[in-house]
Amino acid sequence: MKHLFHIAALAIAALLLTACPDPEPGPDVPDGPDDSWKKQASTEKLSGITYQLNVYSFADSDGDGWGDIKGITQHLDYLDSLGATALWLSPIHEAMSYHGYNVNDYTSVSSKLGTEADLKDLITKARARNIAIYLDFVLNHSGSDNEWFKAAKADPTGPYHDYYVFSDNPTADMASGKIDNFAGATTPGMGSWFTFSGGDIGYKGRLHFKVDMGAHTVTVTQTADAVQNPNTSNPQCWLWCGGFSQHVGLYTTGTNVYEITIDVNTDWGFLVCTSTSWASGTKWGGNGKGLTFGVPYPLNNTTAADITFGGDASWYFASFDASMPDLNYGPYDKASESPAFKALASAADKWIKMGIGGLRLDAVIWIYQNQTAANVEFLRQWYDRCNSTWKSNGGQGDFYMVGEAWDEVPKVAPYFEGLPSIFNFSYWWTVKDRINKGRGDDFAATVKGFRDRFAGYRPDYIDAIKLSNHDEDRVGNDFGRDVAKEKLAAAVLLTSPGKPFVYQGEELGYWGNKGKGDEYVRTPIKWTRSGSVPSTSLGGKVDNTMLTAEISVEAQESDPASVLRVYRNFAKARNAWKALAKGEITPVTSPNSAVALWKMSYEDQTVLVAHNFGNGSAAFAVTGYTTDKMIVSNGMADGSTGLLSLGPYASAVFLQ
């Protein structure tokens, strides 16, 4: 096998070398799957290319407007052509939203996306092409429709209550350190406390309301007096109450005093408003405690919790929104003993035993808010548990797991003590910044600096590098739809050390602004010139001005100057040349401030990587390196005369 590989590698080298120098992207990618060149140099976990896809919008096999798992299986040729060694699937479980990040059942496959049989089939067929499947696993929170959460709310003494973060008095409980998620912080780093309704906090019957906005109190009394119609003549104060779902105007009966008698039927209580617009500061509520009939109840317009009848309201915490209650793992040093940890680990076991190759963990810096050491220890326990299942199930090497720690490198690096791989957001921010500034000469040293810092926490760290993802503006947006810059960013990503992630649609040069709505950065793949895209899952929120015939896969496959061809060519080079895939980066001094230069070496192989981040041409000799054997290029690139010559935003890799 080794001998055959050697011959294959030489053949590739000959093919590539005879095609250069070439002002156009490199040689054509063979039709269909062809492993003669692919995935020889890279290994999936360490340096292979991972394609990040949104299952709900990647490819729709059954025409229901939702992308699905079968759609992925049907497009394995395409993923193969991008050199993918793994696929990161957006959450596949039953969930409350199309994106899947508010999970109702971690052991299920969403019926909108397919079946367990579909997933098994994808795992099997992808594995046959040396492509692993990574699932997105959400540990910070579940969906509020999850049966665990429903049971937890219904029974404070039941087995599910400890799965979530509850409090009857959040301010006091946070300050006292009683809540493990906060470690004594008096305000959340992100997120809010939400009240929730129970059967005993509503009321059905006739009540008299007296609001005193001088004293900021409301006094509610049970009464047999006649019901009044709401005041519709310029009221200054209103009630908002379950049962009538509209603002009810009160009558002015004194200075800052407003009253009314009405029949109510509410399962959650009521609020007082000084405007019908719900503008900030005009909603007045309570403090989470239930009122007592006949006793003035203090109003406030800051927490403005629902004013409940009888029983006290309780609160739950959510870092993101009310539909995503945070899970509670108790004291971090004993997290693995918590019931929530055990339940989630049991669910993860199911998928690992089915044959997935890794997990991507969402929002890992929010599990214990602003507590890096606690999160790291939690993640170490989680990883060890999953890796143990992986190994006992016959997995090769260690299980792959990557965490989303959305921050700058200095804050992210310690997470490598908990997980083998972490997304490197600073990498993309640096690529973006330097390309937009036209400055390349400090790029390699910056990347090396990131890696040195990671190595300080974990010698065998796996640097998960990326451009944009499903939560960020598209690369196209960040570069003002400048296709030359987009191609350069692709070439930089696929010639950098680490494990590159390519996000669905980046390879086609998509643009999209997250500010317009998340859906606009999660656009489906347009496969053919004339075909439509599955947009039901996105509520039809797709930018049809972008989804032209020319941006389709069909059109870009036949266009040697397309963004797609740059991705394919550089993926091919990465998978064929071990120095490019597995080499460590060594900065090379650049005589031109716009040009990034670095060396990559692995075993007996060395390559010189050159990218022009500027919009002008550059030409110079690189002392100590040869430029006559070009492996892959993009844009105007030549080294055959002894000078390294790069056109605007051009890239080239030279074998030493």
> Where do contacts with Mg ion occur on this chain (CB under 5 A)?
60, 62, 64, 66, 68
Q: Closest separation between CB of residue 81 and Mg ion, Å?
A: 23
Whole-angstrom Cα distance, residue 608 to residue 114? 45
Q: Quick one: DSSP state of residue 589?
A: -
Please pick, among 22, 404, 472, 478, the residue that the annotation labels catalytic: 404
Which residue lies nearer to Mg ion by CB, 68 or 173? Answer: 68
Which residue lies nearer to Mg ion by CB, 60 or 507? Answer: 60
Q: Closest separation between CB of residue 68 and Mg ion, Å?
A: 4
How far, in Å, are 90, 109, 154 from residue 96 at the CA level?
14, 13, 20
Which residue lies nearer to Mg ion by CB, 70 or 466? Answer: 70
Three-class SS state of 586: strand
| Order of strands, sheet of 251-254, starting from the edge strand that comes earlier in the sequence | 251-254, 257-266, 203-212, 217-222, 297-298
Q: Quick one: DSSP state of residue 102?
A: S
Which residue lies nearer to Mg ion by CB, 218 or 533? Answer: 533
Position of minimal CB gap to Mg ion: 68
Q: Closest separation between CB of residue 648 and Mg ion, Å?
A: 42
Side chain identity at residue 307, one-letter code:
I
Please pick, among 22, 60, 94, 362, the residue that the annotation labels catalytic: 362
Q: Closest separation between CB of residue 250 and Mg ion, Å?
A: 51
Q: Closest separation between CB of residue 61 and Mg ion, Å?
A: 6
Side chain identity at residue 372, one-letter code:
T
478 is catalytic: no
How far, in Å, are 45, 184, 329, 363 from residue 179 at the CA level?
37, 8, 10, 19
Per the CB < 8 A criterion, the answer to whether 506 and 523 are in contact is: no
Per the CB < 8 A criterion, the answer to whether 100 and 123 are in contact is: no
Which residue lies nearer to Mg ion by CB, 65 or 355? Answer: 65
Which residue lies nearer to Mg ion by CB, 64 or 384? Answer: 64
Q: Closest separation between CB of residue 134 and Mg ion, Å?
A: 21
Q: 3-state SS string over 468-523?
A: CCCCCCCHHHHCCCCHHHHHHHHHHHHCCCCEEEEECCHHHCCCCCHHHCHHHHCC
Place of tokens 């489906």: 524
What sign does the dihedral 406-347-87-470 (CA atoms) show?
negative
408 is catalytic: no
Which residue lies nearer to Mg ion by CB, 57 or 375? Answer: 57
> Which residue in 418, 355, 420 sits closest to 389, CA to CA?
355
Q: Closest separation between CB of residue 536 and Mg ion, Å?
A: 8
Catalytic site positions: 362, 404
